[in-house]
């Protein structure tokens, strides 16, 4: 733009990012700054001087912030794709993210691509998740993603901000300098101004280009130069906009006013129909010349947009109630579906029970389709239009509860005063309690929720009482009070047995029972569920998830794998949901135990990415920890350490005991694989001092309980090892179905007795371990036992028997790709006087997790397109990783990848 000034540092940084993109390195840039600071102007300047790039563009709109995937639909439309409403709006963000990924791949065939989202503070959350999902899966693509928002910390998902920090930059725009304001004044025709006047303008406006521009345009140079006369306050910007509007012709004013009712941008034809204008050319030119509207041409229409949200707000807020109502009424007659209903509701000035009933109907439909935030906002609109306060209060309470269900805590909190003004009922107490819980006020939450449970009528308000008990169960689980969690979860399930309410409580109940050593009570609650349902309900999914988790803890690994896979299949359209992510994470754990390490790596990495993209930060500690397990055992130290560090950072952010325990447990596992016994003991000391030990001590969930005495034995602290192991064995004696944990404890017992030269007791412990593992498909755990037994026999001089055990362990380690354990087994075999059999160099263990996932799927015979779809990445990313796989494995053809992976134990 001719009047663009300054921003030299930002322009240089953006040019550097574009240079990287031209070389095939994807980049993400976040532009951050307050209202009117010049984010959009900087974007226009960059795009105006960018040659050879395909550009797709979208803007957030305050009026459409609740339209799920609305901004993503704009991006698709900007590229000439016109998806149907059903294909985008309200769909799962990750599916829409896949569409954006394919769109970018198509555009790449013409050259580099820039994806722009402006005013992202008003973009719907689903679109930002979809965008993050797509950008994260570009590793070798010439794509620049640019997102502009007022406050990135609150407006953008954590995953999108981290992506910019990892693969680009976050640019914070501040006010223009005195010299830059002088240049702006000259560009706008205000002439050279005295430096004192420019300094005053800088101090007054903070250098905000929008405020400064308004003053430079509206005030004569002499008024700007007279430093003894106060400048208008920036809040007078609205008056300046309205003065420009008042100077326009009647048609231009009507056009701008109608546009403001439709949002930040709208199709020109629709704006003209709302305004009642047949020939808009003159009015449009006048509005553009007055800097009230901009015009943008898309492949299918002309779109008018406000140059800044403050301009639209000034125009809309300046309308009289009568004019605003009239415009909304006309808009409601011209558009269809939810938009029509929204305009009709905005037009209503008096209670309208019939319209309120329509709004309630829309809320019910949105809720049925799994969009609680949109449903909540319809109910809030209905509350204002009800003739009777009681009905209005009911809609308000239900609407806020739906906002909380959707995670819109800040929006719900803003309605706190209105909530407290409603009648003092059990529902009011429940909603305020839920709000307090999600806001971190746990004591207040417990008091309010217990009051809702006590005050609610057991018959008429059974579902409400179930909800209150469900929240209390989750609260107790967070506070590591498993017995209380069980009690409240039972009440939640029993209070409304014929309702979908309580599905989350069912998971809490079953898992909490199992954690406290009662799987015999837990599993009957879900044993009646089908083993392979064709279309499980949400309640079925919650039960199968719980059953799959508990089955993994009692070593029913095949059945657990089937349960979790079925839940995952049912969650394909919502992989980023709580249920989908938990199923994916626990499936990765089961695959690790079953020795399917390539699948475990692939699923754990995918779960981490999906959790980050969907904002499920509370699951990241467990998912990062799980991702580190097979990497640690393979000796992929750098990748494993990275996941352990990430688990610790995420756990510190979440702050609850279980999250911290997952991170520390992952460090213990890593230290065990590296034979860093002091590090393992340091991590176990932290775990020993944690509150809520009943859950943190659970050996079926956390490996540190068995690895702690193992490390003590390794450093010859045998008395401490004896006490620690005895405590573990006592716990397992009360949990006889923890067969895998008992087998591992038997291995540690054997090593301890061997260190004390109690050979008979050691033999007995080894035999017990082998008996327990007989029917459990856990090849790594069995290899560890074979390895330990072989070492024991070698030290007794039974070389032939020792060699047999060590050779069996070596074979298992080789097949798994457990390099550090394989090398140690071969050293033991050499100590027996046996020459290790030749083997390949296990180059596969040097593959990164992403390379390993690609290699595994290529080895299965999949094409690059099939690999990209399975891993949800671009084809260029697959090609990029595959080229590294070829180089590291020393192969040149796809079929050789399988040969090397099999030979190398992957």
Give this prediction's pTM: 0.70
Instruction: Look at residue 177 and give its three-state secondary structure.
Output: coil
Q: Is the pLDDT score of 501 beyond 70?
A: no
Q: Are 566 and 536 in contact (CB under 8 A)?
A: yes
Alpha helices, H only, 172-265: 178-187, 195-205, 209-218, 221-225, 237-246, 250-262
Q: What is the mean pLDDT of residues 497-506?
A: 63
Which are the contacts of 352, defined by CB distance < 8 A and separation ≥ 6?
Answer: 385
User: pLDDT band for position 841 (50/70/90)?
Assistant: very low
- The tokens for 727 are 């405590």
The whole-number pLDDT of residue 202 equals: 84
The whole-number pLDDT of residue 1 equals: 44
Q: Band of the pLDDT at 449, cuts 50, 70, 90? A: very high
Largest CA distance in the chain: 104
Distance CA 543, CA 378 (A): 31
Task: Report how far residue 670's alpha carbon sits from residue 149's, in angstroms, rounded to the nearest whole number.
Answer: 40
The two beta strands, 143-149 and 294-297, are unpaired
| Most confident segment among 42-51, 432-441, 654-663, 784-793 | 784-793
Q: Name the strands in the sheet holding 54-59, side by side, starting at the edge strand that comes first in the sequence.
A: 54-59, 113-118, 143-149, 27-32, 168-172
Cβ-based neighbour number of residue 222 at 10 Å: 8
pLDDT attached to residue 228: 56
- Measured in whole angstroms, the distance separating CA 355 from the mean position of its chain's CA atoms is 37
pLDDT tens profile 170-185: 999 998 988 888 888 8
The 10 Å CB-count burial string (b at 16+, else e) for 575-613 is bbbbbbbbbbbbbbbbbbbbbbbbbbbbbbbbbbbbbbb
CA dihedral 705, 708, 713, 718 (to 10 degrees): -80
pLDDT value, residue 622: 93
- Assess whether pLDDT exceeds 90 at residue 440: no
Report CA-CA distances (Å) from 708 to 324, 674, 701, 783: 70, 14, 15, 19
Angle between helices 389-405 and 372-385 (to 10 degrees): 160
Q: Which of 210-214, 463-467, 704-708 has the lowest mean pLDDT?
A: 210-214
- Which residue pairs, CB below 8 angstroms and at least 24 apart, start in 824-832? 824/787, 825/787, 825/790, 828/787, 828/790, 828/791, 828/794, 828/802, 829/803, 831/794, 832/794, 832/799, 832/802, 832/803, 832/806
d(CA 29, CA 375): 33
Report the half-sphere exposure of 267 (CA within 13 A, side-chain side).
11
Q: Give the pLDDT band (50/70/90) at residue 348.
A: very high
Per-residue pLDDT, averaged over 357-361, amounts to 95
Identify any residues that bridge with 145 across adjacent strands, giving them in sequence order: 28, 115
Q: Model confidence over 93-136: pLDDT tens digits?
A: 777 888 888 888 888 888 899 999 998 888 888 888 888 888 88
Q: Within 597-688, where are the H helices?
A: 597-614, 620-634, 637-654, 657-673, 677-688
804 vs 405, higher pLDDT: 804
Whole-angstrom distance, CA of residue 228 vs CA of residue 467: 64
Greatest mean pLDDT range, 194-203, 408-417, 828-837: 194-203
> What is the torsional sign of CA 328, 333, 336, 337?
positive
Q: Given the structure tokens 């999906």, which residue do they identify?
A: 610
> Between β-strands 143-149 and 265-267, what pairing exists: parallel, antiparallel or unpaired?
unpaired
Pairing status of strand 265-267 against strand 302-305? antiparallel
Tell me the C-alpha distance between 128 and 135, whole Å: 10
Which of 692, 623, 618, 683 is CA-nearest to residue 655? 618
> DSSP E strands: which ranges in 63-142?
113-118
Whether 840 and 903 have beta carbons less than 8 Å apart is answered as yes
Helix (H) or strand (E) holding 707: helix 704-714
Distance between CA atoms of residues 311 and 217, nearest Å:
14
- Closest by CA position to 85, among listed 335, 360, 399: 335
pLDDT band, residue 451 (cuts 50/70/90): very high
CB 606 within 8 A of CB 598: no
Place of tokens 């430079």: 216
**What is the C-alpha radius of gyration for the chain, rounded to an integer number of angstroms?**
32
């Amino acid at each position: 733009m001719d009047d663009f000034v300054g921003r030299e540092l930002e322009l240089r940084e953006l040019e550097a990012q574009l240079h990287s993109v031209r070389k095939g390195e994807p980049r993400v840039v976040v532009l951050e700054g307050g209202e009117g600071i010049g984010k959009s102007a900087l974007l226009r300047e960059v795009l105006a001087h960018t040659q050879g790039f395909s550009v797709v563009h979208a803007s957030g709109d305050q009026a459409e912030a609740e339209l799920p995937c609305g901004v993503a639909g704009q991006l698709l439309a900007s590229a000439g794709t016109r998806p149907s409403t059903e294909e985008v709006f309200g769909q799962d963000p990750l599916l829409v993210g896949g569409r954006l990924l394919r769109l970018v791949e198509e555009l790449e065939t013409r050259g580099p691509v820039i994806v722009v989202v402006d005013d992202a503070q008003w973009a719907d959350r689903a679109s930002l998740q979809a965008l993050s999902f797509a950008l994260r899966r570009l590793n070798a693509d010439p794509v620049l993603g640019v997102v502009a928002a007022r406050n990135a910390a609150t407006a953008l998902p954590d995953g999108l901000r981290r992506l910019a920090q990892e693969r680009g930059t976050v640019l914070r725009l501040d006010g223009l300098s005195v010299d830059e304001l002088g240049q702006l004044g000259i560009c706008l025709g205000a002439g050279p101004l005295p430096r004192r006047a420019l300094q005053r303008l800088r101090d007054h406006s903070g250098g905000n280009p929008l405020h400064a521009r308004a003053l430079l345009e509206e005030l004569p140079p002499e008024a700007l130069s007279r430093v003894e006369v106060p400048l208008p306050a920036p809040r007078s910007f609205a008056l300046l906009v309205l003065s420009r509007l008042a100077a326009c012709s009647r048609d231009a004013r009507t056009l701008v006013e109608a546009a403001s009712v439709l949002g930040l941008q709208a199709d020109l034809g629709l704006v003209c129909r709302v305004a009642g204008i047949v020939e808009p050319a003159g009015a449009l030119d006048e509005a553009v010349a007055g800097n009230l509207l901009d015009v943008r041409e898309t492949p299918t229409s002309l779109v008018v947009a406000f140059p800044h949200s403050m301009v639209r707000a000034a125009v809309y807020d300046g309308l009289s109630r009568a004019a605003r109502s009239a415009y909304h009424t006309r808009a409601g007659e011209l558009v269809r579906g939810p938009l029509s209903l929204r305009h009709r509701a905005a037009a209503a000035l008096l209670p309208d029970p019939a319209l309120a009933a329509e709004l309630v109907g829309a809320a019910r439909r949105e809720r049925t389709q799994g969009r609680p935030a949109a449903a909540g906002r319809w109910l809030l609109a209905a509350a204002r239009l009800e003739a009777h306060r009681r009905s209005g209060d009911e809609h308000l309470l239900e609407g806020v509860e739906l906002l909380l269900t959707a995670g819109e805590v800040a929006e719900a909190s803003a309605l706190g005063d209105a909530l407290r003004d409603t009648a003092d009922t059990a529902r009011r107490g429940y909603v305020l309690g839920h709000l307090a819980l999600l806001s971190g006020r746990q004591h207040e939450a417990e008091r309010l929720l217990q009051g809702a449970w006590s005050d609610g009528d057991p018959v008429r308000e059974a579902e409400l009482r179930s909800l209150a008990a469900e929240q209390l169960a989750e609260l107790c689980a967070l506070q590591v009070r498993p017995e209380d969690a069980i009690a409240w979860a039972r009440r939640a399930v029993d209070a409304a047995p014929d309702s979908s309410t309580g599905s989350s409580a069912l998971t809490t109940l079953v898992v909490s029972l199992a954690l406290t050593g009662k799987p015999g009570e837990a599993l009957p609650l879900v044993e009646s569920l089908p083993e392979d349902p064709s279309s499980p309900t949400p309640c079925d999914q919650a039960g199968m998830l719980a059953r799959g988790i508990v089955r993994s803890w009692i070593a029913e690994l095949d059945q657990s794998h089937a349960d979790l896979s079925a839940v995952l299949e049912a969650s394909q359209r919502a992989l980023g949901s709580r249920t989908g992510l938990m199923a994916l994470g626990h499936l990765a754990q089961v695959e690790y135990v079953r020795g399917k390490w390539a699948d475990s790596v692939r699923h754990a990495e995918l779960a981490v990415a999906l959790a980050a993209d969907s904002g499920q930060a509370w699951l990241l500690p467990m998912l990062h920890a799980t991702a580190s397990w097979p990497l640690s055992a393979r000796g992929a130290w750098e990748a494993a350490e990275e996941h352990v560090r990430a688990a610790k950072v995420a756990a510190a952010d979440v702050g609850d005991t279980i999250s911290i325990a997952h991170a520390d447990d992952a460090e213990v596992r890593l230290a065990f694989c590296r034979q860093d016994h002091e590090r393992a003991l340091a991590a176990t000391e932290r775990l020993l001092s944690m509150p809520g030990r009943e859950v943190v001590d659970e050996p079926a969930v956390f490996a540190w309980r068995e690895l702690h005495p193992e490390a003590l034995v390794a450093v010859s602290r045998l008395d401490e090892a004896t006490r620690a192991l005895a405590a573990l064995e006592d716990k397992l004696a009360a949990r006889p179905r923890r067969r895998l944990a008992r087998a591992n404890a038997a291995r540690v017992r054997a090593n301890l007795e061997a260190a004390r030269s109690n050979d008979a007791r050691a033999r007995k412990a080894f035999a017990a371990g082998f008996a327990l593992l007989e029917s459990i498909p856990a090849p790594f755990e069995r290899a560890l036992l074979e390895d330990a037994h072989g070492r024991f026999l070698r030290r007794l001089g039974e070389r032939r028997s020792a060699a047999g055990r060590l050779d069996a362990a070596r074979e298992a380690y080789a097949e798994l790709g457990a390099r550090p354990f394989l090398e140690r087994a071969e050293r033991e075999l050499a100590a027996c006087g046996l020459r290790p059999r030749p083997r390949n160099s296990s180059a596969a263990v040097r593959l990164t997790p992403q390379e390993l996932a690609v290699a595994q799927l290529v080895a299965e015979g999949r094409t690059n397109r099939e690999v990209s779809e399975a891993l949800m990445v671009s084809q260029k990313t697959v090609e990029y990783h595959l080229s590294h796989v070829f180089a590291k494995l020393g192969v040149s053809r796809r079929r050789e990848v399988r040969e090397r992976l099999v030979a190398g134990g992957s």
